Structure 1
Amino acid sequence: MAWFGLQPGATVLLEFDGAERRPSRAPPPGDKKALERVPIFVGSEPVSGAVTVLVAPGKKVDHMGIKVEMIGQIELYYDRGNHYKFSSLVRELDTANSLVGNRQFLFDFSNVDKPYESYSGLNVRLRYFVRVTITRNYGTITKDFEFAVQNVEPEEPVMNPSLKMEVGIEECLHIEFEYDKSKYHLRDVIIGKIYFLLVRIKIKHMELAVVRREAAGSGATVYNESETVVKYEVMDGAPVKGECVPLRLFLKPYDLTPTYKSINNKFSVRYYLNLVLVDEEDRRYFKQQEVVLWRRDVG
């Protein structure tokens, strides 16, 4: 439940139906505006609830209309003056009136397409919220009530081939690595193995990283940012020719999102498995392989 004050003597509250039973998520890291956990809706679910206007005893609230709007929008941090709405529906709650006591209004946004997942990244945010607007002679007051959207794909991808690749430095190093598949759900386990076919450099250790690459904007104005969200040490010490090193990385503990491809032509988010070898002189050898992440359940 959330609230904000209106003058004179009124408070507005909004509660989503079934909020106490619904999964919720914490505010994204670094999002100073989001202070409370927000309920999670699956894209096909209706968004409904109640808006309540509490009027202080002895007070009267005059207004020219009350409406509620469900909005989905994309915000690019370098373009703060512009918000790109991809979804917007309005419901009128009350016409011009005077409130002399508490009043509750029900709202229901059914059969509303919510095609994209909520996302908060380095340069872009995709958010959903219900906006309550009370129009008055001396100014319009609005307040946004956030909710999150997560879209699930309960079925395994039909095509999910393994990833195999050979990497080498001529006459110095030749390795072959294999991951069990190319598409993983967010609570999956990456299983793989690395074969050392030729080793003539002194390797100190090897690590596997999951890198998130975000591209925000379009045309000539595109901001590309990469961040390492998972780093896992696979091996400590020098391997020998013919050695096979197993890989096993659990994704569930980490803050990952599905892969996003050209969301409303505004941004994309891709994931890469980055295999890194470090020799005794701290030279780094690495190879990246793109993988697709998807959501199997909510939460």
Structure 2
Amino acid sequence: MSASLAFSLKKVNKVYHEGEIIAGVVIVDTSTDLRHEGLTLTMEGSVNLQISSKNAGIFDTFSNNIRPINIINTSIELAPAGKIPTGVTEIPFEMPLVARQSSMSLGLLETYHGVFVNVMYTLKCSMKRSFLNKPLNASCQFFVQYKHQARPAPKPVRCEVSPDTLRGAGAAPHFALYAELDSTVCALDRPVTGKIRIDECSVPIKSIELQLVRVETCGSAEGFSKDATEIQNIQVCEGDVVRGREVPLYMVLPRLFTCPTTTTPYFKIEFELNIAVIFEDDYLVTENFPILLLRCK
């Protein structure tokens, strides 16, 4: 005898907003009549935090993994004990997407897959069976997004970089660089844009790159750990750049690995852009721009 459980959600993209109904069916596929002790559906949402290994020694009073923060934990009975006939049976369900109310409640947060912070939402179905048979289980991840808010006014930023503006420039070649971002307040559904221009440079240029960085802060009463890690790197130019010519910057923000800039008592998720110029001798010049990410129109 073989039997299996699977999920099918009505929304193909599996993206939901707070207050919406998550609807779908649990599919039971069995080769013979299947007796069971009941089907239970559970909706779970949690924030999983982790201290990086380089900081673990600083906070030796607790382990690398911090207790997860529960956002949602709701269960309903899909079917009472009984028998499911041979073949494919679809059991419909509906569950409202509502955050758990507690003293630690953060409300619903957007789905986010980071290095030290992860926000995940899952549907789980369990079929209890007699003690001689293992229970059947199935799970399905879904994604939570904030509703779009009004777009704020853009906040452009401009800078000029030369050896005189760099700290500890050392043996930096003579150069003059101009960089501009159209706005440091960015919509997650729109590309980040700007431009860069090399006005002067005494040595050949090897590459110009645009780097998106996540800055995750997490911890507990004993202390906090702050780590910056790269999300994606786009090469804007390869080879020696024509002097005085503006080069456009354009980056589409990756889904799941970005989210609205988030600050809570337990963790923070922030983002930065780096414009990096690599000279032929591998000397590197980087200009950093903190950015604010929003779910807006």
TM beyond 0.5: yes
Q: Tell me how far apart the structure 2 counterparts of residues 69 and 253 of structure 1 sit (CA, whole Å).
A: 29
- Cα distance change, pair 140–83 in 1 and its aligned pair in 2 (3 A): farther
Please report how far the alpha carbon of residue 130 of structure 1 lies from its aligned counterpart in structure 2 after TM superposition. Answer: 1.2
Q: Secondary structure at the match of 1:69?
A: strand
The structure 2 residue matched to 1:229, chosen from 228, 232, 240, is: 232
The residue aligned with 1:125 is 118
- Cα distance change, pair 295–150 in 1 and its aligned pair in 2 (3 A): farther
Please report how far the alpha carbon of residue 121 of structure 1 lies from its aligned counterpart in structure 2 after TM superposition. Answer: 2.7
Q: Tell me how far apart the structure 2 counterparts of residues 100 and 277 of structure 1 sit (CA, whole Å).
A: 64
The residue aligned with 2:164 is 170
Please report how far the alpha carbon of residue 232 of structure 1 lies from its aligned counterpart in structure 2 after TM superposition. Answer: 2.3
The residue aligned with 2:154 is 160
Structure 2, unpaired ranges of 5+: 52-63, 100-106, 166-173
Q: Tell me how far apart the structure 1 counterparts of residues 197 and 30 of structure 2 sit (CA, whole Å).
A: 72
Aligned length: 265
Q: Tell me how far apart the structure 2 counterparts of residues 236 and 191 of structure 1 sit (CA, whole Å).
A: 22
Q: Tell me how far apart the structure 2 counterparts of residues 47 and 253 of structure 1 sit (CA, whole Å).
A: 24
- Cα distance change, pair 255–110 in 1 and its aligned pair in 2 (3 A): closer
The residue aligned with 2:282 is 282
AA of the residue aligned to 1:108: E
Q: Secondary structure at the match of 1:13?
A: strand
1:72 aligns with 2:72: no
Q: Tell me how far apart the structure 2 counterparts of residues 160 and 267 of structure 1 sit (CA, whole Å).
A: 23
Please report how far the alpha carbon of residue 288 of structure 1 lies from its aligned counterpart in structure 2 after TM superposition. Answer: 0.6
Give percent identity, aligned residues only. Answer: 14
Q: Tell me how far apart the structure 2 counterparts of residues 292 and 285 of structure 1 sit (CA, whole Å).
A: 23
1:49 aligns with 2:24: yes
Higher strand share: 1
Q: Contact 2:211 / 2:274 at 8 angstroms: preserved in 1?
A: yes
Q: Tell me how far apart the structure 1 counterparts of residues 26 and 254 of structure 2 sit (CA, whole Å).
A: 36
Q: Contact 1:278 / 1:285 at 8 angstroms: preserved in 2?
A: yes
TM-score normalised by structure 2 residue count = 0.71
Q: Contact 1:131 / 1:142 at 8 angstroms: preserved in 2?
A: no
AA of the residue aligned to 1:193: K
Superposed, which structure 2 residues align to 1:226-265 within 5 Å?
Answer: 226-234=229-237, 236-237=239-240, 243-251=244-252, 257-262=258-263, 265=266
Q: Contact 1:275 / 1:286 at 8 angstroms: preserved in 2?
A: yes
The residue aligned with 1:271 is 271
1:143 aligns with 2:137: yes
Please report how far the alpha carbon of residue 116 of structure 1 lies from its aligned counterpart in structure 2 after TM superposition. Answer: 1.9
Deviations 1:134-161 (A, max 9, x none): 3445287363422322425545522321
The residue aligned with 1:191 is 193
The structure 2 residue matched to 1:112, chosen from 94, 98, 102, is: 98
Q: Secondary structure at the match of 2:162?
A: strand
Q: Secondary structure at the match of 1:170?
A: helix
Superposed, which structure 2 residues align to 1:75-94 within 5 Å?
Answer: 75-76=48-49, 83-94=68-79
Deviations 1:157-185 (A, max 9, x none): 22321112233322944444221111233
Q: Contact 1:74 / 1:125 at 8 angstroms: preserved in 2?
A: yes
Q: Tell me how far apart the structure 1 counterparts of residues 261 and 283 of structure 2 sit (CA, whole Å).
A: 33
The residue aligned with 2:35 is 61
The residue aligned with 1:217 is 218
Higher relative contact order (Cα pairs below 8 Å, separated by 6+ residues): 2
Please report how far the alpha carbon of residue 99 of structure 1 lies from its aligned counterpart in structure 2 after TM superposition. Answer: 1.7
Structure 1, unpaired ranges of 5+: 1-7, 24-38
Deviations 1:58-77 (A, max 9, x none): x45241x4321111122346
The residue aligned with 1:27 is none
Q: Secondary structure at the match of 2:108?
A: coil
Q: Contact 1:166 / 1:174 at 8 angstroms: preserved in 2?
A: yes
